[in-house]
């Protein structure tokens, strides 16, 4: 059996599994409130996130577009059955954000893919921030006004930033073969 001299074995970087483990740990915290029992919720969270990690680590590229489905299914189940409160909403949103960060970290790209993916994570992070600030900081009668004002200020800041940085519209150079 001959191997190519430039062929490198596939290595698993520590950032991806660490990010997935952080999302799973938060989902386990959400699973404690499962009405079918805390053990069932914890097992569902661990199995879903572990299956997603196993798909990325041990299955080829053909499954890459579907590797997130077990984690999304377990997090979706827990989000649907767990009673709604500020704590469970915070746990679900933070776990979903951790899952987004894990999805952005492609193991086949060079290191630094998390820094390059700030734009993709900006919208989910802003959504989580708006949801948390409206539920924790604003009095119940003024939630709609507060969310609208926050979105207006965020939109104006985004437009100002884009006007000051026109190079952000340039497409990044992609490596060619």
5, pLDDT greater than 60: no
User: Do residues 49 and 103 lie in contact, with contact meaning Cβ atoms separated by under 8 Å?
Assistant: no
User: Do residues 71 and 98 lie in contact, with contact meaning Cβ atoms separated by under 8 Å?
Assistant: no
Per the structure, the complete domain to which residue 98 belongs is given by 15-114
pLDDT tens readout for residues 27-77: 888 888 888 889 999 999 999 999 988 888 888 778 888 888 999 999 989
Residue 58 lies in a domain: yes
Residue 109 lies in a domain: yes
Residue 171 lies in a domain: no
Residue 128 lies in a domain: no
Residue 95 lies in a domain: yes
Residue 100 lies in a domain: yes
Which has more pLDDT, 173 or 29? 29
96, pLDDT greater than 60: yes
Which has more pLDDT, 63 or 12? 63
pLDDT of residue 165: 75
pLDDT of residue 46: 92
- pTM higher than 0.85, yes or no? no
pLDDT of residue 57: 81
The pLDDT-based confidence of 139 (bands split at 50, 70, 90) is low
Residue 30 lies in a domain: yes
Q: How many domains does the chain have?
A: 1
Closest Cα to residue 161, out of 149, 150, 172, 153?
Answer: 153
């Amino acid at each position: 059996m001959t191997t190519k001299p430039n062929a490198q074995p596939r290595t698993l970087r520590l950032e991806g599994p660490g990010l997935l483990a952080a999302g799973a740990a938060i989902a386990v915290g959400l699973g404690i409130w499962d009405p079918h029992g805390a053990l069932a919720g914890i097992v569902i969270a661990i199995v879903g996130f572990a299956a997603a990690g196993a798909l990325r680590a041990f299955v080829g590229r053909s499954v890459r577009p579907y590797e997130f489905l077990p984690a999304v299914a377990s997090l979706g189940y827990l989000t649907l059955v767990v009673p709604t409160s500020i704590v469970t909403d915070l746990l679900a949103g933070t776990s979903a954000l951790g899952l987004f960060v894990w999805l952005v970290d492609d193991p086949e790209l060079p290191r630094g893919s998390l820094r390059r993916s700030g734009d993709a994570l900006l919208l989910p992070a802003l959504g989580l921030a708006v949801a948390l600030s409206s539920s924790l900081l604003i009095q119940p009668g003024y939630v709609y006004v507060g969310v609208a004002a926050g979105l207006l200020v965020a939109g104006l800041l985004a437009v100002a930033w884009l006007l000051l940085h026109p190079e952000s519209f340039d497409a990044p150079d992609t490596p060619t073969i």
